[in-house]
Amino acid sequence: TSDRLFFEPMQLEDVMNILKKDDYYGVMVQFGGQNSVNLAMPLEAEIKRLGLSTKILGTSPDAMDVAEDRDRFSRLLSRLGIPSPANSSAYSEEEAREKARAIGYPVLVRPSYVLGGRAMEIVHDGAELESYIKEAVRVSRKHPVLIDSFLRGAVEIDVDAVSDGTDVLIGGIMEHIEWAGVHSGDSACVIPPQSLSPSVVARVRDYTKKIALGLGVVGLINIQYAVQDDVVYVLEANPRASRTVPFVSKATGIALAKIAAKVMVGRKLADMNIAEPEIGHVAVKEVLLPFNKLPGVDTVLGPEMKSTGEVMGIDYDFGRAYYKACTAADNTLPTEGNVFISVTDEQKEELLPIARKLRELGLSLYGTSGTVEFLTQNGVETNLVRKVQEGSPNVIDIMRSGGIRLIINTPADKASRQDHIRIMRAAVDYGIPYITTLQAARAAAMAIDAIKREEITIEPLQHYIGA
């Protein structure tokens, strides 16, 4: 429990005013998100300038800067022999164009030192890049634009770990349900991983330990990976507590924040006698989206974070855990009724097994002309419904009359995107659960299957992780 609580802006001047008032032993910057990490170096410089005895506890500000600075971090990965997607930093518009061309489109672009994927976008050509730089960011020598090769169809992984500089405790390896390209704060994820091979998991563990020790982390670290064609790429390392720490701690029963705080003040992991968790259950984190409070907001998930909260579903089976998580997120999946499906042409092959599963489970499928034609040709019975732009009666009319119980809709071109926005708005207004990625649709089919086979049970958390 805090002895004192300060309601002040997280600015250098305000923090220094607090430190000057009393003789504090140290400052922990790892629990304040990206803002406090950004403060670490100026805070250290100001403490030295004033001759205060206060320390920055845990990971040194310089080590934090290695993780945050793209060029320094790339050099570390290269030295450790760990793969990362082709990436670079650009300090001017002209340099951004050159670097993007060299890496090859599509690329993921974002400003440096930001939180929540703000102003992060996937750009597909030079015109989109030019528009992004003019409208979204100001490129300067101090604030470069980060450019990464975008890994299509990759599985993303989050790892939370604690290091004392000698040993590393891996708290949890989370597999994202949505593919890379959806911000980690918006993606559902699962502990333990469900589709990753033992070889991939072993490499993730090895890379996590090497990066934490290579950076000189003392305290918490969050590392994000992407797996494509059996290659594990490091996307980024955050030398701080991430938003997933509470989820990992609840799912595994390991109090990561408490352990990290002890490590930051000098305790060693070996002396704490804490074993890495082996769990026999499945925990799914799902996000809460604010679209019912924000009319007109685009509901498509992408690299810029949109969620405002999280829930957890826990069970011994992935399907049941995912069903519980969806229910807690106010997006309860139906076990009967009609499902509306509309996907892009490139996704139709991937949709086929999901559509077949939903039909086997007794749900009726509805779709627009392209989707219906493809599914029917492949032996999946699907009912035709008009697009919104084709007039009435269309999918929104059926939703209004209560005829649709679930929506799976991934927009493609501008015309279908307009349709998508109107359909999603109606889904929010009428309280119909909706899905905007095929990976979530696949998980939903597994969840409906699990619930139809076995009754859902409700148990206290201690039932899974022990008292």
What CATH number should be reported for the domain holding residue 357? 3.40.50.1380
The structure tokens listed for 116 are 């929540």
The structure tokens listed for 159 are 């790892």
The structure tokens listed for 228 are 């494509």
Residues 46 and 98 in one domain: no
DSSP string of 144-173, one letter each residue = PEEEEE--TTPEEEEEEEEEESS-EEEEEE
Buried residues in 46-68 as b, exposed as e (16+ CB within 10 A): bbeeeeeebebbbbbbebbbbbb
Report yes or no: 188 and 178 within 8 Å, Cβ to Cβ: yes
Residues 48 and 139 in one domain: no
The structure tokens listed for 355 are 């559509």
Q: Which helix H or strand E contains 282, and what residues bound it?
A: strand 282-288
Q: Tokens 């064609």 map to which residue?
A: 229
Is residue 447 situated within a structural domain? yes
At residue 289, the pLDDT reads 84
Report yes or no: 106 and 124 within 8 Å, Cβ to Cβ: yes
Residues 338 and 426 in one domain: yes
Question: Distance between CA 288 and CA 96 in Å, rounded?
Answer: 35
The structure tokens listed for 377 are 């040709």
At residue 116, the pLDDT reads 47
Could you list the residue range(s) of the whole structural domain that residue 120 is in? 86-149
Question: Distance between CA 87 and CA 77 in Å, rounded?
Answer: 12
Is residue 291 situated within a structural domain? no
Helix (H, G, I), strand (E, B) or coil at 404: coil
The structure tokens listed for 229 are 């064609």
Report yes or no: 146 and 112 within 8 Å, Cβ to Cβ: yes
Looking at residue 424, its amino acid is M
pLDDT tens for the chain, 467 residues: list them: 788 999 999 999 999 999 998 889 999 999 998 889 989 999 999 999 999 999 999 999 999 999 988 789 989 999 999 999 888 888 888 888 889 989 988 888 887 655 544 567 788 888 888 888 776 566 555 678 888 888 877 889 999 999 999 999 999 999 998 876 677 788 899 999 999 999 999 999 999 999 999 999 999 999 999 999 999 999 889 999 998 999 999 999 999 999 999 999 999 999 998 888 889 999 999 998 888 787 767 777 777 788 889 999 999 999 999 999 999 998 899 999 999 998 888 889 999 999 999 999 999 999 988 889 999 999 999 999 888 777 778 888 888 888 899 999 886 555 556 677 788 788 888 889 988 888 889 999 999 999 999 888 889 988 898 64
Is residue 32 situated within a structural domain? yes
**CA nearest 439: which of 155, 120, 107?**
155
Distances (CA, A) of 148 to 109, 143, 222, 439: 7, 16, 19, 23
Residues 435 and 357 in one domain: yes
On the 0-12 / 13-18 / 19+ scale of CB atoms within 10 A, 141 is exposed
Residues 340 and 443 in one domain: yes
Residues 23 and 133 in one domain: no
Is residue 199 situated within a structural domain? no
Residues 44 and 125 in one domain: no
- Pairing status of strand 364-367 against strand 121-123: unpaired
Residues 372 and 425 in one domain: yes
Distances (CA, A) of 370 to 65, 343, 355, 407, 435: 50, 9, 14, 16, 19
Question: Distance between CA 74 and CA 77 in Å, rounded?
Answer: 5
Is residue 106 situated within a structural domain? yes
What sign for the dihedral angle of Cα 230, 235, 239, 240? negative
User: How many domains does one find in the chain?
Assistant: 3
Helix (H, G, I), strand (E, B) or coil at 396: helix
Is residue 127 situated within a structural domain? yes
Question: Distance between CA 360 and CA 208 in Å, rounded?
Answer: 41
Is residue 283 situated within a structural domain? no
Residues 399 and 446 in one domain: yes
Domain boundary among 134, 149, 164: 149
Question: Distance between CA 382 and CA 390 in Å, rounded?
Answer: 19
Domain boundary among 149, 177, 203: 149
Residues 94 and 131 in one domain: yes
Beta-carbon contacts of residue 457 (< 8 Å; ≥ 6 apart)? 315
What is the number of helices (H) and of strands (E) in the chain? 17, 18
Q: What is the CATH number of the domain that holds 103?
A: 3.30.1490.20
Domain boundary among 149, 164, 194: 149
Residues 409 and 351 in one domain: yes
Is residue 458 situated within a structural domain? no
Q: Tokens 């802006």 map to which residue?
A: 9
Residues 367 and 435 in one domain: yes
At residue 467, the pLDDT reads 43
